[in-house]
Amino acid sequence: DHNAGTFVTWLAGAGIKGGVAYGRSDDFSWKAMENKTYSYDLHATILHLLGIDHARLTFRHNGTDRRLTDVHGDVIHEILA
């Protein structure tokens, strides 16, 4: 079942700390409780590891420059080696 309140992602290598679980949900994995992370943060972190400044990476959509990380994305430094 798809749950919009939490998500799980696996990252390995490329400067990611090994054996780390980041964030915590409630007992039913219904709601994020600690270190809330959004897809924008995940994208910003992956782009950072690729050597790309997520704040400068834009694409034009309907005449407007947009960012994959919107204005909300931040690199999750706590999971970086």
Asked if 45 and 38 touch (Cβ cutoff 8 Å), the reply is no
- Over the stretch 34-77, which tens digit does the pLDDT of each residue have? 999 989 999 999 999 999 999 899 889 999 889 889 888 999 99
- Over the stretch 7-40, which tens digit does the pLDDT of each residue have? 888 999 989 999 999 999 998 888 899 999 989 9
DSSP 17: P
Report how far Cα 8 is from the mean position of its chain's Cα atoms: 11
The DSSP string of 20-61 is ----EE-TTSSSEEES---HHHHHHHHHHHTT--TTT-EEEE
Name the residue among 1, 16, 70, 10 with its Cα closest to residue 48.
Answer: 16
Structural domain spans, the chain = 1-81
pLDDT at 72: 86
pLDDT at 2: 59
DSSP 2: -
